Structure 1
Amino acid sequence: MRECIFHFKVIRGGNSKLLRALIMLDGDRQPAIADFTKAFQQLGFRVKLENERELIFAPTNGEDYKLDVTRIEIKGEDNEQMQHDGELKSIVEHLVRTKW
C-alpha cells in the first residue's frame, strides 16, 4: 500500500482555506477521479468533477464552494506506515470538519 496525500483549497465566496486529505493506493495504481470524490465524501463534501484538467470539484447539493486540488504526493509501500496513516487520516478529517 502507498499513501497519496493531496493538497486542496476550499474556495467559498472570497475566502479560501488550504487542506490535505489521504488516499491509500494498492500497488502501482495512480489515484483516479473516483478516489478523490470518495475522499471528499468521507470529509463531508459531496462533489463532482467540474474541470478535469485543473482538478476542480463542485458541490452536488447546491452549496456555493469549489475544491481545487493543488498538489498530489505519493509515498512509500511500507505496511508499517498503514497504522500511522490511519492516525494521520483521522487528524486531517477532524481538522477539515472544524467550521471556519
Structure 2
Amino acid sequence: MALRECIFHFKFIDGPHTKMLRALIFLPDDRQPSIKDFIAAFAQLGYNVKLENEQDLIFAPTNSKETYKLDITKIEIKGGEELPQHDGELRAIIEHLRGGKW
C-alpha cells in the first residue's frame, strides 16, 4: 500500500507568544487525516492535546495547568508516488535531530 505525506501547518499560541510550526503524517492512499492522526502527531512532538474546536481545528492541552493552544492553519497532502521509499530512515533522522521534542 502506498503512503502519502500530509504536512500540516499550525500555530502554537501561548498568551502573547505565537510560533508557526509544521508536522508530518504519513497516510494510506485511501484516507484523509483524522482528528486522531493530528492528536497522535502532536503527542509525538510532546504536546498532549484534545480537540477544543472541531470547525477551526484548535487543540488544547489535556493538562489543565498548561495554557497553550494549537491551531491547524493549513493541510497539504502529497501523492503517494512522491514519497521516498526510506521514510523510516527519514523519520529516525528527524527524531534524532529534534532530540525527541521541538
> How far 1:78 moved relative to its partner?
2.4
% same residue: 55
SS in 1 for 2:86: helix
Q: Structure 1 unaligned runs (5+)?
A: none
Deviations 1:13-35 (A, max 9, x none): 10100000011110220000000
Between the aligned partners of 1:95 and 1:70, the Cα distance in structure 2 is 25
- TM-score norm. by structure 1 comes to 0.84
SS in 2 for 1:28: coil
| 43, 55, 58: which one aligns with 1:41 | 43
| 84, 91, 97: which one aligns with 2:101 | 97
- State how many pairs are aligned: 97
Match of 1:77 in 2: 80
- TM-score norm. by structure 2 comes to 0.83
**Cα RMSD (Å) of the superposition?**
2.4
| 32, 42, 50: which one aligns with 2:52 | 50
Larger Rg: 2
Deviates more, 1:82-91 or 1:1-10: 82-91
